[in-house]
Amino acid sequence: MTRAPRIVVLAGGVGGSRFVLGVRGALRARGLDDTASALTVVVNTGDDLWLSGVRLQPDVDSITYALAGVNDTERGWGRQGDTERVNHELQEWGAGWPWFTLGDLDLGTHLARTGWLREGLTPTQVLERMSHRWPLGARLLPMTDTEVDTIVVLHDGSRLHFQEWWTRHRATLAPAAFENPGVAASTPAPGVVEAIADADVVLLAPSNPVVSIGPILAVPGMRVALRDSAARVVGVSPVIGGKVVRGMADVCLIAIGVETSAAAVAGLYGARADGGLLDAWLIAEEDEHLASEVAGRGIPALVRPLWMTDAARSTALAEAALAAADV
């Protein structure tokens, strides 16, 4: 391909940002300087929330900070070298959630974002503005400009916000269902459908299928855009050897009746040929024995190293995903 490829990645936070770094790395390794014109990331905003008067966008910020190189790689979220003075003061006031830490630098981001939202900018416009501070090398789009929540419904019928379930209860309360109030009336953010229509390849990052990729696909118009696009759709399994790599995505999968296996997640997304999404699915070497099961679902399976333990491995994985689409 002589011109730069057009790539769209659908992504959540931590797994998503590692993968997006890999895609940017793969483009740079091909000698492309202006990676932002080739790489569009559609980011999950389903777990965004209001807290202490500010708008939090956990996945948007994870990806922004990671691409900027200012993320806390040890803790896995927030800003490197952050402090918690304001958070301490909020807790003295009894404001916010005592089990939810807002770093000082991170709060700067939330304040800037909230101010611009209050001035009337859309989330897409705010993210565009926020993308100028650092050379991110990617265009970031929220999945939608509409406010969407992720609510966890427990077996006794009680409901709590995803962030409370995840951070406070560490996903230990068995979920009966996940709901996304607001999503049915939402539309894809400006530019999302166009980016998918113009893409050579759409990559599903190895993000949480239920609470990261799920809400993106639940935005009306998103699946149709993927189905109608000439782009090849290639997914990367977040499950390796029957386990999720980090976090608690297995609990989410159980709630929607999907086994924690690379083949079952492929089945959840479905074969493009059968009205699903996938033209190809990357599974780990540990899951080679599942390749025939994936193929049996009508989805070509490719066995590749899926661990994103450093930048070189993330880049190699992204390169493998692009190659799977002949890009």
CB nearer ligand GDP, residue 130 or residue 253: 253
Q: Which residue is nearest to Ca ion (CB)?
A: 13
Write down the least CB distance from residue 236 to ligand GDP, Å: 6
Q: How many residues bind Ca ion (CB under 5 A)?
A: 4
Write down the least CB distance from residue 173 to ligand GDP, Å: 17
CB nearer ligand GDP, residue 116 or residue 324: 324
Site string for Ca ion, 12-31 (x = CB under 5 A): xx------------------
Write down the least CB distance from residue 134 to Ca ion, Å: 21
Enumerate binding residues for ligand GDP (CB under 6 A).
Answer: 11-16, 18, 59, 62, 206-208, 212, 236-238, 240, 244-247, 249, 306-308
Are 160 and 152 spatial neighbours (Cβ–Cβ below 8 Å)? yes
* Position 78 contacts Ca ion (CB under 5 A): no
Write down the least CB distance from residue 127 to Ca ion, Å: 15
* Position 103 contacts Ca ion (CB under 5 A): no
Q: Which residue is nearest to ligand GDP (CB)?
A: 15
Q: Judging by DSSP bridges, how do beta strands 280-283 and 232-236 pair with one another?
A: parallel
Q: Which does 307 bind (CB under 5 to 8 A by kind): Ca ion, ligand GDP, none?
A: ligand GDP
Taking Cα atoms as reference points, which of 212, 240, 286 lies closest to residue 15? 212
Write down the least CB distance from residue 51 to Ca ion, Å: 15
Q: Which does 39 bind (CB under 5 to 8 A by kind): ligand GDP, Ca ion, none?
A: none
Write down the least CB distance from residue 143 to Ca ion, Å: 12
3-class secondary structure per residue, the chain:
CCCCCCEEEEECCHHHHHHHHHHHHHHHHCCCCCHHHCEEEEECCCCCEEECCEEECHHHHHHHHHHHCCECCCCCCCECCCCCHHHHHHHHCCCCCCCCCCCHHHHHHHHHHHHHHHCCCCHHHHHHHHCCCCCCCCEEEECECCCCCCEEEECCCCEEEHHHHHHHCCCCCCEEEEECCCCCCCCECCCHHHHHHHCCEEEECCCCCCCCHHHHHHCCCHHHHHHHCCCEEEEECCEECCEECCCCHHHHHHHCCCCCCHHHHHHHHCEHHHCCCECEEEECHHHHHHHHHHHHCCCCEEECCCCCCCHHHHHHHHHHHHHHCCC
Assigned token pair, 235: 């997914």
CB nearer Ca ion, residue 12 or residue 22: 12
Write down the least CB distance from residue 203 to ligand GDP, Å: 12
CB nearer Ca ion, residue 59 or residue 319: 59
CB nearer Ca ion, residue 76 or residue 135: 76
Site string for Ca ion, 27-66 (x = CB under 5 A): --------------------x-----------x-------
Positions touching Ca ion (CB under 5 A) are: 12-13, 47, 59
